[in-house]
A and B are shown apart, each in its own frame.
Chain A
Amino acid sequence: MSFSTVLSASIQGLKVEFVNVEADVSNGLPGFHMVGYLSSEVKEAAERVRTAIKNSGMDYPAKKTVINLSPATVRKRGAAFDLPIAVSILASLGQIRERSVRNTLIIGELGLDGGIQEVPGILPIVLAARDAGIPLCIVPKANAAEGALVEGIQVIGAGSLAEVLGFLSGSIALEPEPYPEDKVNSCIKEMPDYSDICGQETIKRAVEVAVAGGHNLLFVGPPGSGKTMAAKRIPGILPPMTMEESMEITKIYSIMGRIDAKAPLIQQRPFRNVHHTATRAALIGGGLIPTPGEISLAHRGVLFLDELPEFQRAVLEVLREPLEEHKIRISRTHGNYVFPANFMLVAALNPCPCGCYPDMERCTCTSGQIQNYLGKISQAFLDRLEICVEAPKVTYESLSREKKGENSSQIRERVCRARDIQNDRYKGTKIATNAMLQVKELDKYCRLGKEESRLIEQAFTALGLTARTYHKILKVSRTIADLDQAESICVKHIKEAIGYRTIDKKYWGR
């Protein structure tokens, strides 16, 4: 038989599309033709496949070869079709029996020597294959551990085309990759710990409150005050991830080709430090067929934006939708793509361009310069950062002190307790943390006593609060009360929450 078909798959956004790789080798003018809405890297497969077949010790006859990747309406990209194309050609040539490739998903990139190189997106593809009832996947050896995370499907890691040929024709026995238990367990790396930071108790407290309620956080402080250090340690005090969450994140990282074969399952919450030159597409995702951006890579973890005013204004504004909806929708003419983006935003800025304000002895900025500096961020964006705290310059005394602060696991314990209280309270609703409370739900969950109402009313006029800051203060006080394991919000919780309110540009630097 001169025709055969092999099952493979490609990634569109976060979705998996199955692709049938069809090959037909017949008499005619010798040549290699590929069709099926292919990008140039797929077309280049022709040379790789022919050379790899030859170098694996097989003859490549001088015949007319036609390859079709169907469905022809889906754009195919990447080098992952090399292996299925090769296998399908070999099947048409009769080197492999057609029956043995039926119900097998094959994916991988070929080198000229016939070796199989790793490709991105293995985990979601294997998951989709299992859900479609396919019993066997052949993937590159380097990706085998990642694929083996999926239970209920056999995943075979192959190192070369010859190996695949041997396996499919029955001459070589390849064992399915076992579930990488030891790798899963060993991949919990040492995380940076809060006990490394001397002093800075105010920051630690603010971070604890922010993490406990899932609030976004803003550090205001001069350069070198340990803003980045504090932010980096946040994933270590967030509650541990569930298996479900881990798989969700590993899928995204797999698509981006960022899986470490030694530790295939991502079990730590991501921390993404984005440089201020980042473009909109880099942040939210983009491309002709969109790939996830930084906010999706920070899904279930922390997105850190240092030097906030240095970011282009338009770049920050696109963050507003994902901050509200915890996902990002990217529209293209050929379809919409939705990427998850449920992250905790941590931002940092200097109080003024030179960083010394309000120390007038050293600050060299005029009030115009300060206004200009802050003017790059919209108030609407600042208002989304519910907790704002000053990061003071580290003093020598606090550095030299022997006494070490609390470590991350102690803080995490309190955070988890507060999160448990929230989980109980919001059972049966879509709310996970206090930060997700909508305005209409505040009445129900953040009910205030007489004294508390009076206090907040007083604060409203005395401090010039807006409706938006008022709601944020309520949510943060709910979190502080939860940390305190208090049933209802008390005066002291509200007062502390007021102290964390976001900066108001109008009164800054005047």
Chain B
Amino acid sequence: MKYEYWFAQIARVNDRKKYFLREYLGTAKDIFYIEEMKLNKMEFLNEQDVNTIMQAKKTLDPDMLYKDLKKKSIRFIPWFSEEFPEKLCEIPTPPYALYVKGSIPERTKKTVAIVGARRCTHYGEKYALEYGEKLAQCDVSVISGLARGIDGAGHRGALMGKGSTYAVLGCGVDICYPREHIGLYTDILRQQGGILSEFPPGTPPVGCNFPRRNRIISGLSDVVLVMEAGEKSGSLITADMALEQGRDIYALPGPVNSSLSRGCNQLIRQGAGILLSPERLLDELGILPISSGENTDKNKKVLETGENMVYSRLCPYPKNLSQLAEETDLPPGEVLEKLVSLELQGYVKEISKNYYVTL
């Protein structure tokens, strides 16, 4: 296996060529011991590739490399391994190998990807959390990219729902990017989830890695949910790849004037599924049929008149104190008082100084 790892982690030769070469010679051990002359004869390799491989032979010791990998408790799963996710074999450009901390999604479980903009509104974040949680509660594995914004919210939701969730990174699995998600990173591992990447450990988070990893996110999933995406969002790349890979796409509709929902609304127009509620999604995925009699008790909020007056003016998009005071025609001190009591009861949240959204 150490030779296989040595070969897989050579980043400058592309996956396709690596695949051919190994098919041609049998195992990576043969590649390690092959002479340069023979390599030169292979037509699909150019001079640079040969040089890279010869260089790697000289400078990298497979034993050391493999020991290092074990020390970091990172699993190495090449494409020919038994463990390699079946779903990834189906996609047009499967990764040569996966590096994994923790576990990989179980074959028997349904997998759903929750993706969206990094710069998201409270609205998108809220639903990413909610879908993550509900899906996890129904034993669905949630897959995302550990990025800021929607991705992080999806993971967090799944953790709240006591499910396992999997993060596919655009850097080595030993690097937490963005750094502020280190808490999330450890929580995912603690809760039997996994951190996955096709990039060898130690690869820095370079911009061009991220669109590539998106194909793995969609590839690992049965269904892709796009929570919030602008017109040129990276999440739309994921959606495109998901289409190529034959995955179902669902998008969360948003207000037509919100630029961050434009991508989602566009997807719906192009025929993506529409996310109306987690229950409905679970029904459509055939996981949990909707029971007709169930009524969400969220609508049964008992509020006093003043609080109700303020609450009824709030929405998932932020509104500020003075707007509310103007709309309700109450003195600002009183509105603030109502808002705080709504906040303490858990109906609203102050997301920035004196800006409030419903929960």
Contacts and interface: CB of A to CB of B under 8 A. Distances in A.
Interface of A: 199-206, 209, 220, 351, 357-361, 363, 366-368, 388-390, 392, 398, 455, 458-459, 462-463, 480, 492, 495-496, 498-500, 503, 508-509
Contacts of A509: 352
Which one of A363, A368, A499, A500 has the greatest number of beta carbons of chain B within 10 Å?
A: A499
A508 B354 CA distance: 12
B122 A358 contact: yes
A455 B337 contact: no
Contact of B320 (A390, A455, A462, A503): A390
Q: What 3 A-B pairs come out closest when comparing CB atoms? A: A390-B354, A499-B336, A202-B332
A205 B352 contact: no
A449 B77 CA distance: 63
A433 to B, nearest CB: 19
Nearest to B125: A510
B321 interface: yes
A496 B338 CA distance: 8
Given A499-B321, A499-B340, A509-B352, 5 more contacts: A200-B322, A351-B352, A359-B318, A360-B260, A492-B334
Contacts of B338: 495
B26 interface: no
Interface size bucket, B side? 35 or more
Interface string B307-332: 00000000000101111011000011
Contacts of A209: 333
A361 B344 contact: no
B322 A496 contact: no
Contacts of A492: 334, 337
Nearest to B355: A358
A366 B119 contact: yes
Nearest to A503: B353
B343 interface: yes
Contacts of B326: 199, 201, 398
A508 to B, nearest CB: 7
Contacts of B286: none
Given A366-B119, A367-B148, A495 B332 contact: no
Contact of B121 (A200, A360, A367, A398): A360
B185 to A, nearest CB: 16
B316 to A, nearest CB: 12
A193 B326 CA distance: 22
A361 B122 CA distance: 12
Nearest to B336: A499
A389 B354 CA distance: 7
A389 B119 contact: no
Contact of B344 (A200, A203, A204, A459): A459
